[in-house]
Structures are given as structure tokens and as C-alpha cells.
Chains A and B, each alone.
Chain A
Amino acid sequence: MKKKWKILIPCIAVLLVFCLAVGFLGKLFEPKYVAEQKEGGMIRDYYKETGSHDILFVGDCEVYENFVPAVLYEEYGITSYIRGSAQQLVWQSYYLLEEMLKKETPKAVVFNVLALKYGEPQNEAYNRMTLDGMKFSLSKWNAIRASMTKEESFASYLLPLLRFHDRWKELTEEDFAYLFSQPTVSYQGYLLQTEVKGGVSDREGVPLTDYTLPASSMAYLEKMRALCEEKGVELILIKAPTNNWKYWWYDEWDAQVKDYAEAHGLSYYNFIPLCGEIGIDWNTDTYDKGVHLNVYGAEKLTSYFGKILTETRSFVDHREEPEAAALWDTYLENYYLAKGDSK
């Protein structure tokens, strides 16, 4: 018996050291998304969030660039969080939502519908930005399986070293400084952009051969709706304002979403035709020629959306609750400090 242990203990020790080394090197080599490509760090930001929220946003860049939770609180007392990521696909939104709804039950979930145009996995770099930030869970497992392109391997999501081993030559100070803990990169999921780059053109999107939204993405929208229904949460569909030929929202897509919303009794707000009413000036309110709003445009849109929300639904005004107010006043201060305002 003793002899057996004499062999087993060193084996277990070697295996343990090997696993620790693989885990440590994986952590070291994976991108940290702090100074650059902050978009990749937003999914993990949620785990640092305290308190619950009235509204949870899910979706692609059109949520995290266009809505400001701090403003929604400041003007209407609504607490919210944006769980957005670059080119977040519908199945990723679904699994992120599934994960969040295990932790909290908001009054409403807001989903931006642009991603419905993608029926298949698209791009590893964007997948990584969404999936690598998720804590390990069944939701993450399923999100990876639904998202992988043909060139990707499931194992590389579980063991980052398999994917990022060749980053050893690109390691920077950031990789060491944020090895075990990364600072938040967003403001309750909002990614601040203060740059102004207008000059949108009058060009429209190029014609497509088929305007039918893919069945696979619509199936995940249906799963999202059913999940919200099961949890007693309202699902609100939105289309954020854009004004760029490349990221065109076709009338045919709009009609399909409208039909779906009507069939299921959901609210759907397409903000594109409402830009004038919202007050968006495409010369000053975008930082990338109409693809996304900058902070000035996002504040206008948030203000407009908040008005709709409070006029059509009832929310508790958290500004009147000392505990929530103390927390959100800090968030507000951080937001305005980063924006460069003296509020």
C-alpha cells in the first residue's frame, strides 16, 4: 500500500503542477482588453456589478454604444445594465441573458434586433470578445457550442493556452498587470466614446437577394421571448439609430420584426425614423460616420427612450431610495468624470 502511494503522490503532484502551469500560462497569454479593444472586456464587467437592475440590455455594439445607464438613472431613476459586446450574435445574447436571469429578475429586457440578420457563426475575434469574458457555466458551454466557426475548437475556449500560446512574443506590461484581475472598462456596460466624426453620406445599403431573416436567429429570438415570459420579464425589441450604407437596416427586415413583435404582443421601437424627433445630428452625434452614436448622441437617445419607458410603464424611482441612490450617485460621478463634464 505504501509503495503504491509512493508512486501515486509524485504523479499527482506532477499532474497538479502541469495543470497549474497550463492555467497560469493561459491567463497570462489571453488578451486582457483593458487599454485596447475594451469591447472585449465588457462581458466580464457585469460580474463586478452590485445591486439589481430594472432594465437589462443585450445585443451588439448598438446597445453598448448608444444607451447610457447613468443617464437613464439620472433623468428617470431607472437602474439598468448593458450586457453588450461587439457583433454579439442572437444565441450569445440568449445565453448571456439566461446567465443574468439566474442572478436577477429585471422588469424588462431590451434586445437590439440588428443581429437577427446573422444566421450562422461569423468571426472568431468577435466570438472571443463575447465568450472569453463569461464565467464558466452551462450557459457559457452552450454559447460556445452555438458560436464556434468551423475553424475554431471547443477546447481552446476551455483552455485559452491552446489558442493564445503564440502571444508570448506580444506580451506587454498590461498582460502582467492585469493577470488575475482586470479593471472595469465600461460604465454599467456603456462604452464611452467622446470623439466626433460625422460626415455621413446619403448612400443606402446594397440590395440583397434574400431579405428573409434567418430561421436560426429567429429561433433564438423566440427562445429569448420564452425565457423572459417564464421569468415574468417583459421583452422589448429595439433598433438603434444608424446611418451608414454598410450597416443598413432594410425595410423588409423591419417588417418581419414588426410582425413578430405584433404576433407576440411585444413592443418594438425602431429609432431610425425617429432620429429627427430624438434630436440626433449625424454631423456631431456619431464618432464613426453614422455606424454608432458618440456620447452626445447616446445621451439624447437614452433620454428619449427613458421618456418612452416611463410614460408607458411604471418604474420605481430609485433616486428616492437612499441605498440605491448612494450606489448610483457614485456611478454617475464616475461617468461624468470620464466624460470630462464637471457635473
Chain B
Amino acid sequence: MKKTLQIATICMLLILLVGSLVSCNQKEDPIQDDPNEAGYFEFGNHLFAVDGEVTEATLASLGTQTKEPEEAPNCAFDSQNILYSFSGFEVETYAKNGKNYFYAIYLLDDSIVADRENIVVGASKEAVIAAYGEATDAKEGSLTYEREDYSLVFFLRDGKVTRIHYLFKVQ
């Protein structure tokens, strides 16, 4: 009886250990099911962790860069924001502790679908509202949707989307 209990306890501990390791791994890797889960964002058929490091591999997964990255050094610190240009969109990163993280993504034309709501540059204001609901902040020239980790901003002119910005809440 005692031995059975010991084996059962060890099994339970192993299950808990494996379970916690799996959940840790899930936090690091892009998830596939819920793009609205805190800590993640969906962009161009990919899910990214908001606080995930932007590596060469991350950038490669976004496509081919169309021009040299542009740097903007920070005052007093040996770090910089970098702007990477791709066809139809740009990714801006910021540096923290020697690593790069998402600062913003700017969609410039309709060549890329940002997320599963299928709103692209050129869509109507009504289509944005139908897809995302009432904006957190609605201005004449923009609709802003606040997420836990970032803001999604639709710039409008003559009732049409002209740009889409992902602005991450930098820690």
C-alpha cells in the first residue's frame, strides 16, 4: 500500500513537472488558436509573442527586406531603434539589454493582410468597425483599438484606411 502511494506521488509530480514545462514552452512559442490572448499578436499569418526577441529568424519569417535597415540611436544609451522595410510594411524594433523587441509595425499598402479579420489598407471605415467593433478611441482621422499589450490603429482618409499601425506597449 505504502509503495503504491509512493509510486502514485512520483507519477503526480512527474505529470506536474511535464505540465509546467509544456506550459513554459507554450509561452515562448507562437500559439495557433487564440490571437487575442494577452502576450501575443497576429500579423501576416504569424503569431508572435509581444515580448519575444526579434531575431534574424523572426525578420526572415516576415519576408525579404526591401532596403537597408535604418537606425535611430537613443540618447545617452548605447542602443537604438531600427526600422526594417518589407514590401508593404515596416517593422520598428527597440533594444533592451542587448536584444531587440517589437516597438511598432506599420502597414503601408494592401499587399499584406494583418490578421484574420482581413482588414487591409484601402478597406472602408465601416468594414473596420464591423470587424473589430467600436473603437477604444475614434477620431476623425483614425480608429484605435486598445489591446492589453499593444494598440491597433487604423488611419483613415475619406472613409478609407490609409495605414495600419501596431504600437506595442514598451516596458
Cα A39 to Cα B77 with chains together (Å): 9
Does B159 sit at the interface, judged by CB under 8 A? no
Tell me whether B139 and A209 are in contact (CB under 8 A).
yes
Does B141 sit at the interface, judged by CB under 8 A? yes
How many interface residues does B have (CB within 8 Å)? 20
Does B155 sit at the interface, judged by CB under 8 A? yes
Across the interface, name the chain B residue whose C-beta is closest to A200: B70
Cα A207 to Cα B121 with chains together (Å): 15
Does B34 sit at the interface, judged by CB under 8 A? no
What residues on B are CB-neighbors of A61 within 8 Å?
75-76
Tell me whether A209 and B73 are in contact (CB under 8 A).
no
The B contact surface, by secondary structure, is strand
Which of B73, B139, B142 is the most central at the interface, judged by chain A CB atoms within 10 Å of its CB?
B73
Does B125 sit at the interface, judged by CB under 8 A? no
Tell me whether B73 and A40 are in contact (CB under 8 A).
no
Interface string of A52-88 (1 = CB under 8 A from B): 0000000011000000000000000000000000110
Which of A37, A201, A206, A210 is the most central at the interface, judged by chain B CB atoms within 10 Å of its CB?
A206
The residues in A between 189 and 224 inclusive whose CB is less than 8 angstroms from any CB of B are 201, 203, 206-207, 209-210
Tell me whether A207 and B75 are in contact (CB under 8 A).
no
How many interface residues does A have (CB within 8 Å)? 24
State the Cβ distance, A76 to closest chain B Cβ, in Å.
28
Tell me whether A86 and B163 are in contact (CB under 8 A).
no
State the Cβ distance, A240 to closest chain B Cβ, in Å.
13
Across the interface, name the chain B residue whose C-beta is closest to A207: B155
Tell me whether A126 and B76 are in contact (CB under 8 A).
yes
Contacts A207-B155, A209-B144; is A291 near B83 (CB within 8 Å)? no
Does B165 sit at the interface, judged by CB under 8 A? yes
What residues on B are CB-neighbors of A206 within 8 Å?
104, 106, 165
What residues on B are CB-neighbors of A292 within 8 Å?
75
What residues on B are CB-neighbors of A203 within 8 Å?
70, 83
Which of B70, B81, B104, B141 is the most central at the interface, judged by chain A CB atoms within 10 Å of its CB?
B70
Does A165 sit at the interface, judged by CB under 8 A? no
Does B28 sit at the interface, judged by CB under 8 A? no
Cα A39 to Cα B74 with chains together (Å): 12
Q: Which B residues fall within an 8 A CB radius of A?
A: 70-73, 75-77, 81, 83, 104, 106, 137, 139, 141-142, 144, 153, 155, 163, 165
Given contacts A129-B76, A206-B106, A247-B72, 20 further A-B contacts (CB under 8 A): A39-B75, A40-B76, A60-B75, A87-B75, A87-B76, A125-B77, A206-B104, A207-B163, A209-B137, A209-B141, A209-B142, A210-B139, A244-B72, A245-B70, A245-B72, A245-B83, A246-B72, A246-B81, A289-B71, A291-B72
